[in-house]
Amino acid sequence: MRFLVDECVPRHLSERLRGRGHDALDPRESSLRGARDDVLLARALEERRRRHPP
């Protein structure tokens, strides 16, 4: 499963998801750090990612 992990959750969540075989994008680890919600939503939709936490 593909996730876009919210910046407000602990970083270890992304690592745990990846460790379980998921594709977890953490904005803090990319050019999306601090991006507006509409930008994050567009990226998530484009890449067919689920937001975590829901």
Amino acid at 35: A
Would you say 50 and 41 are in contact if contact means Cβ atoms under 8 Å apart? no
- How does pLDDT run along the chain (54 residues), one tens digit per residue? 999 999 999 999 999 999 999 999 999 999 999 999 999 999 999 999 986 565
Task: Provide CB contacts within 8 A for 30, sequence distance 6+.
Answer: none
pLDDT of residue 50: 82
Query: What is the per-residue DSSP string for 1-54?
Result: -EEEE-TTS-THHHHHHHHTT-EEE-GGGSTTTT--HHHHHHHHHHTTPEEE--
Q: What is the pLDDT of residue 46?
A: 94
pLDDT value of residue 52: 58
CA distance linking residue 16 with residue 25, whole number of Å:
12
